[in-house]
Amino acid sequence: MLGYVLRRLAASIPVLAIVAVLVFLMLRLTPGDPAAVIAGDNASSEQIAQVRHQLGLDQPLLVQFLIWIGNLLQGNFGESFFFKKSIGDLILGRVEPTLSLAAATMLIAVCVAIPLGVVAAYRHGSWLDRIVMGASVLGFSVPVFVIGYGMIYVFAITLGWFPVQGYQPLSAGFGGYLHRLVLPALTLSVVYIALIARMTRASVLEVLNEDYIRTARAKGQVERKILFRHALKNAAVPIVTVVGIGIALLIGGVVVTESVFAIPGLGRLTVDAVLARDYPTIQALILLFSGVYVLINLLIDLTYSLFDPRIRH
Amino acid sequence: MSDTPSPVLDIADLAIALPGGGDRLRAVDGVSFTVAPGEIVCVVGESGSGKSVTAFSVMGLLARVLKPVAGAIRLLGEDVLTASPQRLRALRGDRMAMIFQEPMTALNPVLTVGDQIEEVLRIHTDLGPKERRAKVLAMLEAMHLPDPERMHASYPHQLSGGQRQRVMIAAALILDPALLIADEPTTALDVTTQAQILRLIREMQERRGTGVLFITHDFGVVAEIADRVVVMQHGRIVEQGPADQVLGHPQHPYTRMLIAAVPTMTPARRPPVTGALALETAALSKTYRSGGLFKKAREVHAAADVALRIRRGETVGIVGESGSGKSTVARCIARLIAPSAGQIMVGDQDIARLPERRLRPLRRKIQVVFQDPFRSLNPRRTVGDSIIEGPVNFGSDAKAATARARDLMSLVGLDPAALARYPHQFSGGQRQRIALARALAMEPEILIADEAVSALDVSVQRQVLALLDDVQRRFDLAILFITHDLRVAAQICDRLIVMQSGRIVEEGPTAEVFARPTAAYTRALIEAAPGREFGRGERLQEAASA
Amino acid sequence: MSAEPTLLAPAVATLPPPRTLPARLLRNPVVALGTGFLLLMALIGAFAPFLGTLDPTAINPATRNRPPGFERTLRAEDGSTTTFRHRMGTDSLGRDVYSRVLYGARVSLVIAVAVATIALAVGLLLGLVAGYIRPLDGPIMRLMDGLMAIPGILLAIAVVSLFRAGLPAVIAAIVVPEIPRVVRLVRSIVLSVREEPYVEAAVMAGTRLPQLMARHILPNTIAPLIVQGTFIAASAILVEAVLSFLGIGIPPEIPSWGNIMAEGRNLFRVYPHNILYPGIFLGLTVLAVNMLGDGLRDTLDPKMTGR
């Protein structure tokens, strides 16, 4: 098992290395002087010169890359030209809201979507199935920010149940923290629920057609146990896989949701950095999000053996 | 029937409607037969005969689209067709049990074997965990499974196909049901395993007095196990009676045809073939390596040190069970895969290591007919396009190739006008004929038939075998015939090669191999062939000529 | 023709003759509805100038932030006046939202078609190469793994931030994250189809690689690619809206549903119509594309149903 974990960790290094190369090249391959681009539109020529020197842009491409990657490996993400702060500190200060939002969303989505998907598969072809499937297509079709503003309009402005925008750190009290987290998490969970419910339905449906389900029926087993004892455990691997793949969707959603609800998290930072053309910050954030995404999926791969004894490491 | 004990199963005038659009209205119609306690009744028929539908209707496991519309199915006097779902569940697993064709998929992969057998006890009894476990272990023991304790904690993927089927039987019989339904339980197994499973079913059934409804397409299996036989065709019973009577003196022409189509185990004496040498391999090997940087490297010798020769006009059979390497050898010779070592001499040229560019001109000399008739023709291209593809590749003009394709269609017994049709408009047997026509269009010297008749019903199988014989004589073909079925090999092969675990264990003229097998493995294979006694008799010839 | 009854015959994926496909597709009510709505949107986009619209970029400081239904008087050059009704109100620069929404259909549809076409074309090419040319398989797939590891919207944001804002940049930004999925799809189809006996039979018949691809392998990718293409189109419309909404997509002088909403977000509490109307158009359009995709998949690629 440990060997497998190490092997998988080792296998994700090349992927992350490729991400790093892509992120690095992205800036270098754009037309124009990267130093000027990095320093920003309002930079003076001294500032540009300083950037050029700092990033070693006068060096060959490979040397530049090695300097950059060397800094990264030491945890040095560089300096943000827009926020005038170390990017590492900048990111650390923004982690809590994003993590809270993502975790709450994930929790809501899994608790709602999996039962929905199972029931829809079991009542395959019924009105309930059609409603769940129809609602999930709808969930895929409306952009997060429209859902967000819809929620705000109904629950915050009209009903007044929740604050319109804003975030309160956990340290300032759990009640207020939760109160402000509900709407954004609900908003973000819609597309995630749609995704997971669909996958759950599809894989349970597929499993229900398997021969061993017929065997269980031939033993005289009741349908409820067939569904939960035999079907759901077999359907688990594709379901947790899509939960992992959905992280990419979640990260995209975080960026938008934080903008809509004025939450000072990493997503908001990303947008601000892009609007300010703060490239070192953008690069760091992309690397960070990709690393998290790859690692979560690695963790999910490692859980497969819990569900399926055929997958042994 | 007044002197016989009351039957465990009594099917009376059963009719099951087919959903609209089929080529007939009813899946089964007017089906009546009984199964007495301690009796094995074989329901035999080709695909589409309604035999499996009948079996599933007894269990109440029919697909929803199939609805029983008339008749009764009485289990110990109780009509299961009118029973409530709750009552039906109580009967299943307890009074009637079922085993299925695919032991690979019939067990839940994520639950242990012991757990799955115990499930029956949990559903139908109040036994405590300890009693359940003891009972399951005893049952595993009775199934002659090694190390029941370990078996109990194993997952299905850790077991062989035969072991899984034993587990299925254990789960089916643990509550001593009055009726066991076996739906082609040995079809997916190797022949030696099949023989063991048949013996086990016999043993269990005798010891427990279970009535068995046994579904099969194989008259060899019927001869092996049946007390009584029910023959079905197109959803109706055409003949039923005691096994001796049906097998020995079949009355209905369809039964006679089916029995006649069963390949005999007595190979005809064939004169040695003296044609020119068409193909010769020497030390042919294929080794698969897996693993790498972080994993332990593993080597699998799919084929090792295989030497064989085929002459023009000769049929050489390679016989073996799954994993024996017979298909690997065929695919190496066809150069669909590259051998790891050895030579493949076609004429005076070694093709074992030729790159595709230099191989292409030689491709027309060797052609293949594959096993699966449903996948061996491109579904998007007309049959004509498929047949002329090769000749056109080799510079023949499309018109001439099409003219020749027409001739070949007639030759393989199909209407030349059908060239414009798509594969899905043909049956399995017809597709194999088309695949043969496609191969012949290349005017090959060597034809490889890779399990080419294995997926076909016996009656169709016999026709395709006859066709192969015919084209061999016409074109002086060297045929390499790959099969797992000794009975089929006995019919068509001049010489036999028996393979086990990638190696040749025996080789010789077919009649010789059957009469005096030298390798233990060959003897086991012959021993295990179902219905071999039945296949030997003169009565077969009688039935065929009648 | 078939002599063997089909009751228990193995399930075979036989495509019906191609001619009957469109007819069969349109008989599916979901597909018909989706197609109908998309046609309507295309017509609206194409004929936007003739549907009672004003110049969607015309700023009018006198009529800022008016609610839907507000009427104002237009004075033509000859001095005659007509009353114009702002069905969907005006935005904070006094532009007519109805006109902007109708013109906005153009951007969404152009992006949907362009992104799907480019992503499919590039993905198909790379997928075929990766699936059939062994030495290139590794490098291509590693690159794709890397691209897949960057969450899609982030990658799009990164790409768009490098270029001058505009339609081509937005299209490029949305295409890049979609390519790896197409490559994987095509490659997996190639790898499984090349094992099919009929492909092996074609190899035995001496068929050269280009013909082998064109006749036997490529046709298997068409149905899944069409299905994939519709889902890419749906996602492209959404991503454009997101980028524009964040202010890094289509510049405001070209009306797009996303940037109409971006413009309206500041005054959302008071004037929700700036988000409501484009939101409805956007949601329904994406829904229509998704419905079309689901229907296509059910018809063309039954194995994937429900995914």
Class of residue B497 by CB neighbours under 10 A (exposed 0-12, middle 13-18, buried 19+): buried
Inter-chain residue contact B100 with A10, CB threshold 8 Å? no
User: SS3 sequence, B115-174?
Assistant: HHHHHHHHHHCCCCHHHHHHHHHHHHHHCCCCCHHHHHCCCHHHCCHHHHHHHHHHHHHC
The two structure tokens encoding residue A251: 């990260």
The predicted pLDDT at position C7 comes to: 30
User: What is the CATH classification number for the domain harbouring A279?
Assistant: 1.10.3720.10
What per-residue confidence (pLDDT) applies to A308? 84
Query: Which residues in C lie closer than 8 A to residue B390 (C-beta atoms)?
Result: 204-207
- d(CA B60, nearest CA chain C) in Å: 18
**What number is the ipTM of this complex?**
0.86
Q: Which of A57, A87, A117 is the last residue of a domain?
A: A87
Nearest CA to CA, how far is A251 from chain C (Å)?
Answer: 7
Q: Which of A28, A61, A87 is the last residue of a domain?
A: A87
Alpha carbon of C112: minimum distance to chain B alpha carbons (Å): 30
Phi first, then psi, for residue B206 (nearest 5°) are -65, -45
Does the structure show a pLDDT above 80 at A145?
Answer: yes
Burial grade of B361 (CB within 10 A; 0-12, 13-18, 19 or more): exposed
The pLDDT score that the predictor gives to residue C223 is 86
> Cβ of C123: how many Cβ atoms within 10 Å?
27
The pair phi, psi for residue B16, each rounded to 5°, is -130, 125
Quick one: B402 and B536 in the same domain? yes
A259 and A115: one domain? yes
Q: How far apart are CA B37 and CA C59, in angstroms?
A: 93
Whether residue B326 is found in the same domain as residue B473: yes
Q: From chain B, pick out residues whose CB is under 8 angstroms from the CB of C210.
A: none
What's residue B463's pLDDT?
87
Final residue of a structural domain among A70, A87, A104? A87
CATH number at residue C138: 1.10.3720.10
Q: Do A252 and C163 touch (CB under 8 A)?
A: no
pLDDT digits (tens, 9 = 90+) for C24-75: 777 788 888 889 999 998 998 888 788 777 777 777 777 777 777 777 777 7
CA distance B81 to B9: 13
Residue environment code for A6-22, b if the CB has 16+ CB neighbours within 10 A, otherwise e: eebeeebeebbebbbeb
Q: Give the total number of structural domains in chain C.
A: 1
**Does residue B430 fall inside a structural domain?**
yes
Contact assignment for A137 to C290 by CB distance below 8 Å: yes
| C127-130: Cβ within 8 A, 24+ apart | C127/C182, C127/C183, C127/C184, C127/C185, C127/C186, C127/C187, C127/C189, C127/C190, C127/C221, C128/C186, C128/C190, C128/C213, C128/C217, C128/C218, C130/C183, C130/C186, C130/C187, C130/C190
The residue ranges of DSSP E strands in C41-140, in sequence order, are 70-75, 81-86
Closest-CA distance of chain A to residue B157, Å: 7
| Nearest of B273, B286, B267, B290 to residue B342 by alpha carbon | B286
Question: Which chain A residues are Cβ-neighbours of C283 within 8 angstroms?
Answer: 138, 141-143, 146
| φ, ψ (nearest 5 deg) of residue A108 | -60, -45
Range of the domain at B504: 314-341+349-544
Shared-domain flag, residues A49 and A100 = no
**Which residues of chain B make contact with C13, given a CB cutoff of 8 A?**
379
Q: Are residues A151 and A228 in the same domain?
A: yes
Tally of structural domains, chain A: 2
Q: How far apart are CA A286 and CA A77, in angstroms?
A: 12
Residue B225 forms part of a structural domain: yes
Specify the pLDDT at position C271. 79
Residue A206: list chain C partners with CB under 8 A: 306
Q: Is the dihedral of CA C223, C226, C232, C237 positive or negative?
A: negative
pLDDT of residue B2: 46
Quote the pLDDT of residue C307: 39
**Quick check: is C109 in a domain?**
yes
Contact A149 C268 (CB under 8 A): yes
Angle, CA B487 vertex, CA B482 and CA B490 arms, to 5°: 75
Q: Contact C247/C262 with Cβ under 8 angstroms?
A: yes
Contact B330, B324 (CB under 8 A): no
Q: Is residue B524 part of a domain?
A: yes
Per DSSP bridges, beta strands B179-183 and B96-99 are parallel
pLDDT tens digit sequence for C252-268: 888 889 888 888 887 77
> B5: how many CB neighbours lie within 10 A of its CB?
10
Q: Which residues of C263-291 are buried (b: 16+ CB within 10 A; e: fewer)?
A: bbbeebeebbbbbbbbbebbbbbbbbbbb
Out of B92, B102, B109, whose CB is closest to A310?
A: B109
Give, in order, the Cα–Cα distances in Å from C112 to each of A100, B176, C119, C234, C240: 34, 64, 11, 7, 9
CB-based contact C283 A252, cutoff 8 Å: no
Chain B residue nearest residue C18, CA to CA: B380
How much is the pTM? 0.83
Q: Do the Cβ atoms of A211 and B106 come within 8 Å? A: yes
Same-domain check for residues A82 and A95: no
A253, pLDDT greater than 70: yes
The confidence score (pLDDT) of residue B74 equals 92
Q: Does residue C208 belong to the interface with chain B, where contact is any CB pair within 8 Å?
A: yes
B235 lies in the same domain as B331: no
Instruction: For C249, list phi and psi in degrees, rounded to 5.
Output: -110, -125
Quick one: B238 and B355 in the same domain?
A: no
pLDDT at B21: 57
Q: What is the DSSP string of B417-479?
A: GGGGS-GGGS-HHHHHHHHHHHHHHT--SEEEEESTTTTS-HHHHHHHHHHHHHHHHHHT-EE
Report pLDDT digits (tens) over C277-307: 888 999 999 999 998 888 888 877 655 443 3
- Are A91 and A284 in contact, with CB atoms under 8 Å apart? yes
For testing contact with chain A, the best of B108, B158, B296 (most A CBs within 10 A): B108
- Matching residue, tokens 């759990």: A174
pLDDT tens per residue across span A88-134? 888 998 999 999 999 999 999 999 999 999 999 988 889 999 999 99
Pairwise pLDDT comparison (A38 vs C229), residue with the higher score:
C229
* Helix, strand, or coil (residue B507): strand
Q: Based on the fold, state whether residues B42 and B109 are members of the same structural domain.
A: yes
Q: Is C283 on the interface with A (CB under 8 A)?
A: yes
Task: Identify whether residues A70 and A186 lie together within a single domain.
Answer: no
Burial label, A74 (beta-carbon count in 10 A; 0-12, 13-18, 19+) = exposed
Instruction: Specify the pairing of strand B446-450 against strand B366-369.
Output: parallel
CB atoms near residue B525 (< 10 Å): 26
Q: Is A210 on the interface with B (CB under 8 A)?
A: yes
**Confidence (pLDDT) at A299:** 87
Q: For residue A234, what is the nearest residue in chain B, using CA coordinates? A: B110
Spatial distance between the Cα atoms of C299 and A130, rounded to a whole number of angstroms = 18
Most confident of A276-280, B525-529, C189-193: C189-193
Q: Based on the fold, state whether residues A19 and A160 are members of the same structural domain.
A: no
The answer to whether A217 contacts chain B (CB < 8 Å) is yes
**Crossing angle for the helix pair C97-132 and C273-300, nearest 10 degrees?**
30
Residues in chain B with pLDDT values less than 70? 1-4, 20-23, 290-297, 532-546
Sign of CA dihedral A37, A40, A45, A47: negative
**A189 and A305 both lie in a single domain:** yes
Q: Which residues contact B112 (CB under 8 A, 6 or more apart)?
A: B152, B153, B154, B155
Q: What is the DSSP letter of A210?
A: S
Number of domains in chain B: 2
pLDDT at position C8:
30
**Option in A10, A210, A222 nearest B89 (CB):** A222
Do B427 and C2 count as a contact with CB atoms less than 8 A apart?
Answer: yes
Going by the DSSP 8-state scheme, the letter that residue B43 receives in this structure is E
| Residue A83 and residue A102 in one domain | no
Residue C84 inside a domain? The answer is: yes
Q: Cβ distance B363 to B336 under 8 Å?
A: no
CA geometry: angle at A239 spanning A236 and A242, to 5°? Answer: 150
Lowest mean pLDDT segment, chosen from A59-73, B171-185, C173-187: A59-73
What pLDDT was estimated at residue C2?
A: 33
pLDDT for residue A141 is more than 80: yes
In a domain, C114, yes or no: yes
**Dihedral of alpha carbons C244, C245, C248, C252, sign:** positive
Tell whether B281 is covered by a domain.
no
User: Which backbone phi and psi does B32 adopt, to 5 degrees?
Assistant: -135, 125
CA distances from B538 to B260, B263, B264, B265, B466 (A): 11, 13, 10, 12, 20
Q: Which of A16, A146, A289 should one mutate to test binding to chain C, selecting the residue with the greatest count of C CBs within 10 A? A: A146
Q: Which of C157, C277, C297 should one mutate to test binding to chain A, selecting the residue with the greatest count of A CBs within 10 A?
A: C157
Which residues 133-152 of C have a C-beta within 8 angstroms of A?
A: 142-143, 145-147, 149-152
- List of residues 6+ apart from A219 with CB closer than 8 A: B92, B93, B97, B119, B120, B123, B171
C-alpha span between A255 and C129 (Å, rounded):
35
If you count them, how many residues does chain B have?
A: 546
Last residue of a domain, one of B261, B291, B323: B261
Contact C214, C207 (CB under 8 A): no
Task: Give C211's contacts in chain B (Cβ within 8 Å).
Answer: 393
Q: Which of B241, B261, B281 is the last residue of a domain?
A: B261
In a domain, C119, yes or no: yes
Please indicate whether, in this complex, the C-beta atoms of B59 and A211 are within 8 angstroms of each other. no
Query: Would you state the structure tokens that stand for residue C15, as one six-digit string?
Result: 């495509």
Same-domain check for residues B357 and B254: no
Count of positions (residues) in chain C: 307
Answer whether C207's CB lies under 8 Å from B393's CB: yes
Dihedral sign, CA of B413, B417, B423, B424? negative
Mean pLDDT value across chain C: 82
Q: Are A306 and A250 part of one and the same domain?
A: yes
**Residue A153: which domain range?**
91-311
Alpha-carbon distance of C244 to C251, in angstroms, equals 8
Q: Give the pLDDT mean for A164-185.
A: 87
3-state class (DSSP) for residue B192:
helix
φ/ψ region of B9 (left if φ > 0, alpha if ψ in -120 to 50, else beta) reads: beta
* CATH (domain of B429): 3.40.50.300
Domain that holds residue C30: 22-305
